[in-house]
Structure 1
Amino acid sequence: NDFQIHCTHLFKNIEENVRGTATAEATSIVAEAKREVEAWEAEKIKLSAIQNFEPKIKLDVGGNKFTTSLTTLRRFPDTMIGAMFSGRHALSIDNEGYYFIDRDGTHFRYILNFLRSPETFECDLTGTALKELKNECEYYNLKAMMFPWQPVPAFVCYNSLAQPVKVTQDETGVWSANNNVLKICEPCCTAEYSSNSAAEAANLFSLSDNSGAGFSFGNS
């Protein structure tokens, strides 16, 4: 009898443990399924937001109004403007159907022209206007594409002693004079030197009359 009682308790404990394990596993499965459903519902919301955009988009950029296509705005998905119209962000729209972007729209047409035809894009702006455009391009993550940086070709200039100095710029933007690292402050061409050794620094200063300046552009 004692053995039967012992076995009964043992089987009961096993049954409870199995039931508890099964319940925990079932709870975990249900929770995982719930998370998947919630993720899918969130994805459907994103997809519906994308589908809400019309093929033709009207923009109000700081009070300047433009009309373009959704395809144009999505040309470069990894840029700010591409992300704006990806459907992942809420954009305010007025009663006339214009999406408002709170940026300076003075030169925005250049940005649209680049997005429409990046291969043939040209910019005729100079001075302050060009700087303003580049600032806006920086915001939209388009500056590197619209204005790719390239090193200036090597040229020869002359110090005040009429000695020729070959000036070069490497791929990182660092300037060198006769293979010695320096920085040229345009447009006055004042040289501010940086060097790894006192000898190199002395050589650079000797080229500029020991004043740290004195370079003037000349024909090579």
Structure 2
Amino acid sequence: MTAAAVDGTTGTRLRADALRNRERIVDAAREAFVQYGPDVPLDEIARDAGVGNATLYRHFPDRDSLIRHVVLSVMDRVASRAEAAYAEVPGAFDALRRFVFDAAEERVGALCPMLTPHLDGNAPEFAAARKRLEDATQALMDRGRRSGELRPDVDSGDLMVALSQLARPLPGTGCAEIERFVHRHLQIFLDGLRAPARSRLPGSGATFEDLRSGGVPVQRS
């Protein structure tokens, strides 16, 4: 049962109409957080979702509850997309490419770095969601390396950093067609991941552990 399929306070299954309202709220919150940050007024999120304030607060009694469910929802959806890309796309690099664009559509790169400081990252639900996402992403990277299509000096942390930097709109741009630029720049990045490498990267590939610890990967021989 995913985070989006249960009530945030009781843990019980939601009726179909309540689930639709909840999904609209989570989707609207995801877009609002990307555009305006985690302090966007909840009234605006309710309006964008097409529900009343009372409906929003019935599902999410406070901002932290909403942020938590947005992050869990995005992590769940991105992990599902990574698993689907691995299972459905025959080519290793083609599967990685599909995942990168899918993850950008889910706003994972923009949202998670922005919102995780507001969360308890050690909570069991986040640990489980993070492990699933990391395992699915690592499987795609490992497959790309085994096929010889992915340059050997990059790791999963490099991929997530790039998504974080490339998949968020520039502040204050008001660019209505930001997705077109995101896709262009992600394709440039993907071209740089292909083997054989055209240059030597400084340092060594960033892992998920490097990202969690906030450390800088050291040069490995």
- Measured against the shorter chain, the TM-score band is under 0.3
- Higher strand share goes to which structure? 1
> Comparing both structures, which one devotes a greater share of its residues to helix?
2
Higher RCO (CA < 8 A, seq sep 6+)? 2
